[in-house]
Structure 1
């Protein structure tokens, strides 16, 4: 495919899209633009893009595909800016935002009379690292990549087919949904869980003021189940505002859910409490494990380690010898003369399994998956 592709926003997602396209279509020319010029230059140095662009109007007229890979609020600004330039005939513009209704509506109203086809997009994959340096061509492998085209336009179906070909190197699972359906699903499995995680942290923070044991005790499992509360506040502010109506409905349903379990507890209904947790367990245990979802997965490996100097460097040294990359490492608990727990996080389940084999074959330490 000999096309000109412009990626606007050279972070983790934009950079990974560029790498995946280039891998599958080496004849494609990838142009990259970022409001931070240093990011554009770095992307070119890392060979994530072919050419760095510093003014959109200098290049948009020759681009066949334009990917807008910036936060949802900025996406609307970029759409408006693009509409002020002479774009190439039959250009396909798409985005990667995690909300779709408002973006698609605005894009249709702006591009509708310009002969530009806009297809909403959302690759449901991410990482706990950010920036173009973290970009990987296989970031979207086994992830769901959702398209929300304008169903009333024949050109939209053709555009989706072209995007699938262009993005074939991502090895993602492509799905087509309406913007409304997308935002409802994303609200349930991503947006609202972030609200719940942040609320749990707020509750702990308030109780921390009256009990000094909260903070040290929260360093274990509580810290793990609320990981997503550490996400970018600006990004989540914009997502909650754009997906306001869906989330307001989910708030009401969540209150009903809490009232139900509250009633079980208040009235000592042991059987109902058991069933409540069992139903949740069965549904969760049946969730797919080989595909990526809207919230980045945590591929953790726990290692029981003795407390002596150099133990962490010993483990990381073994992994380095096998060229296994880690994304995070933390000692959860150590006490003098007893075993502690080392938690190592990886980019993928494949890396975690390689690390497990490596450590167990070369040491006497027990390991188990998180």
Structure 2
């Protein structure tokens, strides 16, 4: 997985008992839940990505911004694009029906409507903010965007007043180690995305570009927790390769959440060509990766409801010809049944999901429409 163009396509596409999940096999029947119509509870957001409920029941929103005019550079790709850096990223809060900006002036880099900036937000055990800052590339390209861009591709720890307490350089780790370097098509490309706080401090962070899950300890030291290796899949007809040809499909980890069993669950989006049913939810425990749920075509994010059931932001069925998956929200029941909580096609480009204290499911939508992003509330009746 490498490059801004691939990252843009990825974001455009994206988008019971836990023990039972670990043995879920194959595509499962989707049932419709009898929930109410989705309601827009926040709008006018600037490229909203990860969302998380915090103290007092408020919803915290990572907004990747829209880049800026601090400095621009051409991306190191065959079809280079201009990426411009600015300080338009922010963390907003939705509380009592009103949205306000908690922290602004965070790094953001954009190529057209595709923004890289704050991608996820969560809380440390002490109540400080953890924020992943997206990127797409290596440290050499980052340097071309100027000294103020050095926190792209990092995990920031911030006070709730916005004071930077520490940062961990995930892009530097990818540049030095390239954990998936043995996979065909691997490139040095760091794209910190989802995060899950660790009980003793620090966090697990998915690197969408590096196809890995990284561990950041409470002192900011980075290590590789797991590598999600590429898989071999049938070449799509559009490539006009000989019949029976195989190509590597990148794993592409996105969202991550801690499950009620203490393991961590990773949304595996699946890279090009996104074959039907190939995307999975992976279970990560003590560095070992197993499959928790399968049968999806794309998976962008995961979380759990109050009953410990897995909530998946993803798509099922064949990918449409335009490459834009009809991402929706599913609940995986204890027996493996996949319950559809929202009609496919309702969402545009959703990238974050969370379950509120009220039991409703919240989704960050229109992630690639700067200034037009929304938070949708999906009531759930059971």
More helix by share: 1
TM-score, length basis structure 2: 0.27
Whose relative contact order is higher, 1 or 2, with alpha carbons under 8 Å and at least 6 apart?
2
TM-score, length basis structure 1: 0.28
More strand by share: 2
Is the radius of gyration larger for structure 1 or structure 2? 1
